[in-house]
Amino acid sequence: MVKLAGLVCAQVTRHSAAAMSDSKKPQGEAARPDERLKDIEHVVQEHANTSAVVSTSASVPDESTTTADSPAADAGNDGALGTSSGPARGGCSLLEPDVLANVHLAWAKLYLARLIASHERYIDKIVPVEPRPFESPDSFPSMLAFRNLVPFGKSVNQCGWGDAALVRKFDDARNLFNAAMTHFKEALEYYQLDGWVTEHINILMEISNAYRCLASFEPDAKRKRLMHSQRVARLAPLHGVLNHEHFLGLVRSIALELGNTSREIMDLLEEERRPKSKTVAARLDAVRYYTYFIDTFREPFGPGGKLPDRIEDEANERYFLLASFSLGRLMSGGMAADRDMAGMVAAVEHLRGTAAYVDRQHVQHFEREAGMAREMADLISEKLQLAQQLTTAK
């Protein structure tokens, strides 16, 4: 967990600069970044002195208060920065709407970074290899510290540094989640889909990540599943509606996120021992999203196209293989007994094709998955042969 205090400053600087250079903004001489940051510090300090602390009483999904299709954790009082609209804005009336949105976005990302780091440390058990360069405000560069800025009635010394910034229990994780959601909601007031496609969807992806991390702290399978359902509710309406020629990266990100989330929901439904029809529905959703994601690599775009001999970009290749192996496991999983011969043959071809890709291109770190795919393909082939023999015997 590093550079938490600097994240706010860096985020505002980066997004404000990008906003000033955007084609939607009038051309002209922009204020220097250091001058804009001083203005932000002054205005937020002034407003923080007269504003209430952000409420952490907003609730995460609960079956008694929400359904899979209703928004959750969006309630709560306005943050200390105020809102981007409405009469009660205090000192923030001096801020441009884009700057105010970026300040909210910076704080949201700060809380999300703490939640992600907590998930990695205490859920995934990932121990940082490199020592943290900033263990206290005293070791942080003064030009990035905003030492006179007092957001939410706290000084920089009270914001949490090192391990103190991390959480171990669900209640504490929920507090971070709710604080992040308050600011994400404010940022979305400015970064709406109409006009800010990339920014809007990126925020929705970060909200999905926040739900994912929060769910990992929740011990109850049903509540965990409801949190994952919130991820689907936010992203599913955008699936397949963007122009892939202009937003190919976003098209892929949405499909992959929905595939991963549907698979997690399927696993939780099985853990809850829910009716088989619900589990099968979640499995079919995951298959559909993973298939769509893989099809985005075809040329021409879509199921009728041909996959390249190799995915050139290393990061895209990794995601492609992860999705492909996940799809293979779903195709050969619990529905196998209920599927026709053609579906089982398709599963065998997909598993063997993905394993052959790894072997042919010598892709590192996927040897184990390739071996498992070959084993599953062989097992399904044996079942097919047995079924054919039984059919012939009749």
**Residue ranges of the domains in the chain?**
1-234
Task: Give the pair of three-digit tokens for residue 281.
Answer: 């529905």
- The confidence band for 108, taking pLDDT boundaries of 50, 70 and 90, is very high
Give the closest residue to 293 by CA, choosing from 262, 328, 320.
320
Mean pLDDT of 107-122: 94
Question: Are the C-beta atoms of 183 and 105 separated by less than 8 Å?
Answer: yes
DSSP letters, 197-254, are: HHHHHHHHHHHHHHHHHHHHH---HHHHHHHHHHHHHHHGGGTTTS-TTT-HHHHHHH
How many residues does this entry show for the chain?
394
Most confident range, picked from 146-155, 161-170, 255-264, 377-386: 255-264
Q: What local confidence, expressed as pLDDT, does residue 131 receive?
A: 62
Q: What local confidence, expressed as pLDDT, does residue 91 receive?
A: 44
- The confidence band for 342, taking pLDDT boundaries of 50, 70 and 90, is confident
Say yes or no to pLDDT of 123 above 90.
Answer: yes
Instruction: Name residue 271's amino acid.
Output: E
Percent of the chain topping pLDDT 70: 66
Say yes or no to pLDDT of 159 above 70.
Answer: no
Q: What local confidence, expressed as pLDDT, does residue 262 receive?
A: 98
Mean pLDDT of 126-147: 66
Q: What local confidence, expressed as pLDDT, does residue 137 receive?
A: 66
Q: What local confidence, expressed as pLDDT, does residue 308 receive?
A: 96
Q: What local confidence, expressed as pLDDT, does residue 135 receive?
A: 66
**Residues 24/26/27/32 CA torsion (nearest 10 deg):** -100
Say yes or no to pLDDT of 361 above 60.
Answer: yes
- The confidence band for 147, taking pLDDT boundaries of 50, 70 and 90, is low
How far is the C-alpha of 394 from the C-alpha of 390, rounded, in Å? 6
Question: What's the whole-model pTM score?
Answer: 0.76
> 302: how many CB neighbours lie within 10 A of its CB?
11
How far is the C-alpha of 150 from the C-alpha of 43, rounded, in Å? 11
DSSP letters, 312-375, are: -SHHHHHHHHHHHHHHHHHHTSTTGGGS-HHHHHHHHHHHHHHHHHHHHHT-TT-HHHHHHHHH
- The confidence band for 9, taking pLDDT boundaries of 50, 70 and 90, is very low
Q: What local confidence, expressed as pLDDT, does residue 375 receive?
A: 95
- The confidence band for 161, taking pLDDT boundaries of 50, 70 and 90, is confident
How far is the C-alpha of 326 from the C-alpha of 319, rounded, in Å? 10
Say yes or no to pLDDT of 104 above 70.
Answer: yes
Q: What local confidence, expressed as pLDDT, does residue 69 receive?
A: 36
Q: How many angstroms separate the most distant Cα atoms in the chain? A: 85
Which of 125-129, 181-185, 190-194, 299-303 has the least mean pLDDT?
125-129
Residue for token digits 């990266």? 249
Which tens digits make up the pLDDT trace of 222-281? 999 999 999 999 999 999 999 999 999 999 999 999 999 999 999 999 999 999 999 999
∠ CA 76-77-80, nearest 5°, is 130
Task: Give the pair of three-digit tokens for residue 229.
Answer: 């359902």
Q: What local confidence, expressed as pLDDT, does residue 73 receive?
A: 38
Q: What local confidence, expressed as pLDDT, does residue 392 receive?
A: 79
Say yes or no to pLDDT of 45 above 70.
Answer: no
pLDDT greater at residue 210 or residue 42? 210
Q: What local confidence, expressed as pLDDT, does residue 332 receive?
A: 83
Residues 6+ apart with CB under 8 A from 25: 19
State the chain's mean pLDDT as an integer.
78
- The confidence band for 145, taking pLDDT boundaries of 50, 70 and 90, is low
Q: What local confidence, expressed as pLDDT, does residue 160 receive?
A: 73
Task: Give the pair of three-digit tokens for residue 294.
Answer: 């893989």
- The confidence band for 323, taking pLDDT boundaries of 50, 70 and 90, is very high
- The confidence band for 114, taking pLDDT boundaries of 50, 70 and 90, is very high
Task: Give the pair of three-digit tokens for residue 194.
Answer: 């109409």
